[in-house]
Structure 1
Amino acid sequence: MTLTFYTNPMSRGQIVRWALHEAGADYDQVLLDYGTTMKALDYLKVNPMGKVPAIVHDGKTVTECAAICAYLAEVFPASGLSPTENERADYYRWLFFTAGPLEQAITDKHLGITPTEDQQRMAGYGNLERAVDVLDGALSNREYICGVRFTMADVYVGSQVDWGLQFGTLPERNSFKAYAERFRERDAYKAAKAIDMALMPEAED
């Protein structure tokens, strides 16, 4: 099997690199720049959106971080990161809650968009405070998003919490800090972060 990973170290590609390491996947890396190679015709054939990350696995392309995470868990079953029957509902619920309502609410806040009460019915997430409270409630009584076991959903949800705490887009709730402390100790997290941190000076040249 061949797996090519298209990324930039200062991007959501960090999520997928962590997922690749958790899955134990061997991969070839292609580094892209935002203003040049990411918009070049060769890469637009991979992802017409002109953004990273993307993977091409045995000729099949997968984009969107949450989709890539779920895909990797399935095609590398030995990693044990797919949900069990009892975990499946929480796995998909919180994976897509974080990829949808939570990320949209954070993005809108960053862009200075605050939906009015009427607009909140259309926005899908209501408001950022509600989305944050919902995730806080989910993490307040469990170690990981599906319970006591780390799954691939934690790579995606964990990345959002990790960045949120680092950049101040999420409040420093006790549940978020405790959750982050747990996954930051994982070998795959540390290995993936070390690679991206080492690549950043190269990307800035």
Structure 2
Amino acid sequence: MTDPNRITLYYSPQSRATGTRVLLEELGAPYDLHILNMKAGEQRQPAYLAINPLGKVPAIHHHGELVTEQVAITIYLADLFPEAGLTPTLNDPLRGPYLRWIAYYGASFEPALIDKFMRREPAPITQSPYADYDTMLGALEMQLSKGPYLLGERLTAADVLWGVAFSWTMMFGIVPKKDVFVRYAERITSRPAFQRISAADDEMAAQHAKAVGA
């Protein structure tokens, strides 16, 4: 009989879903993977589009309900396992800043990142969701300079989201390798949970490439 408390993570290696899997590991959460070979285009097939019409990962199923959007998934999972200590409680003064920086990821960082990657001119500063790229990144640099984590001395689920994101965006040259970003990413990627998932992702990605003859 299927355990209703187990989480199903719709997953592809070396994607944004990696951060969600790392978070699940950090939380000690019971989960199963529903693996999609994105090299073979499985995320665009009808079976998965019926689950997430945008054809994106991560997505999770839990208690019969679907949660998409990396920001929503991060908040949901951390709240689901408060005993892991990765989320400030509702009456914690850090709850507001915690939500701020998680929302900042989806509302400001990702739109700026895509414009930068696509070499698109951003909207005028008064209409842009992220002002401009340097301002958006400067706010993060200022916050992280207080370190070692986004909320100071306390590691939260927000750091898993951001640490993994900084790791791959610096790897691809979209975010500059400033010392504060490098040190921050290393704090997260040196953790056992990230190391385990990174190794598993390498193996899975190689299998996916082999399956499509890449």
Please tell me the TM-score bracket, short chain as reference.
over 0.9
Aligned pairs for 1:1-205 (under 5 A) are: 1-34=5-38, 36-84=41-89, 85-115=92-122, 119-205=124-210
Q: Is the 8 A contact 1:87 1:146 kept in 2?
A: yes
Identical-residue share of aligned pairs (%): 36
The Cα offsets for residues 154-184 of structure 1, whole Å up to 9 and x where unpaired, read as: 1111122111221111111121112122112
Give TM-score scaled by structure 1 length: 0.93
Give TM-score scaled by structure 2 length: 0.89
Question: Which consecutive unaligned segments of at least 5 residues does structure 2 have?
Answer: none
Deviation at 1:66, TM superposition (A): 1.4
Aligned length: 203
Deviation at 1:120, TM superposition (A): 2.0
The Cα offsets for residues 23-80 of structure 1, whole Å up to 9 and x where unpaired, read as: 1112111111335431233222221211111110121111111111111101112211
Letter in 2 for 1:100: A
Q: Cα RMSD (Å) of the superposition?
A: 1.5
Question: Which consecutive unaligned segments of at least 5 residues does structure 1 have?
Answer: none
Q: Is the 8 A contact 2:163 2:189 kept in 1?
A: no
